Amino acid sequence: METVLETKDLTKQFGGKTAVSHVDMEVHRGDIYGFIGKNGAGKTTLIRMAVGLAAPTSGSIRLMGSDHLEEQRRKIGTVIEYPAVFPHMTAKENMEAQCRLLGVKNVKKETDNLLEIVGLGDTGKKKARNFSLGMKQRLAIALALIGNPEFLCLDEPTNGLDPAGIVEVRDLIQRLNRERQITVLISSHILGELSKLATRYGIIHQGRMLEQFTAEELEERCRSGLEIHVDNREAAVKLLHEQFRIADIRPLENGGLLLPEPCTQPALLNQALIQAGIMVDSLHTRQGDLEHYFMQVTSQAEAAFARAGQ
């Protein structure tokens, strides 16, 4: 599968602090890649290195399958942190100024087309300083689209927006991906919203990439149900099949078993397993969304880091 961004062992240090640590990451062409992490996890630093705004301490970056980064970065549109627009200019004036700076030939056509795409074609003489935050964010995305980029990097594009603004930006990103075939990397800590957008994910924590997975894999990992951990999974599955007629029992990567909901009361299951000589280590209801999965993965990582003394 073709990649538009690939990093190997990518590291960035500021003085004695490591902001990004040996990150391997792949964004495939056509992805809406949800880059997940708490504030300070390393999301913005990695994006800045990818688009050329910061130099790596070590490791490598490939863009569009090439090591010629300066050439490939011309195919990237970027919005990092707060929308960077000229407040005393209209949307059209902002676009025209950026078009001329980038050497775009048909300035009027490019400006009108992109403003229409982001829903700002009718803002007229209204100055950007009087725009809502959502409008400013959409203008920043329009500016990033000048030159028809193949890859769009958006750092926290819904941060600070009201619900209506979040929906507008989400719909815009989906249309750009679907209609213009633009690959999108979007960082966010608003996980409920991100789960409505992303086709693939990466979780970064304390500068380290913990996992990368598809939306389909996330759906499987976030399946709700009753999670049990026993000392003999084979015997437990047999008992649950025969005694409780539970058919859809899924083995988990963490060694547990996931039973579908609704199922027999947990207390009865626990009692039957113990009476059969099967030791029950834990039994609990598992929540099924990205936020719970993120907290589980990062908590496990923190425990592992602590054990390793890192």
**pLDDT the model gives residue 15:** 87
DSSP sequence for 243-262: HH-----EE-TTS-EEE-SS
**pLDDT the model gives residue 264:** 62
Q: pTM to 2 decimals?
A: 0.83
> Are the CB atoms for 209 and 25 separated by under 8 Å?
yes
User: How far apart, in whole angstroms, are the C-alpha atoms of residue 8 and residue 187?
Assistant: 19
Q: How many helices (H) and strands (E) does the chain have?
A: 11, 13
User: How far apart, in whole angstroms, are the C-alpha atoms of residue 242 and residue 59?
Assistant: 54
Segments of the chain scoring below 70 in pLDDT = 262-264, 310
In sequence order, which residues have a C-beta less than 8 Å from that of residue 275 and are 6 or more positions away? none
In sequence order, which residues have a C-beta less than 8 Å from that of residue 59 and are 6 or more positions away? 7, 8, 9, 10, 11, 22, 23
**pLDDT the model gives residue 223:** 79
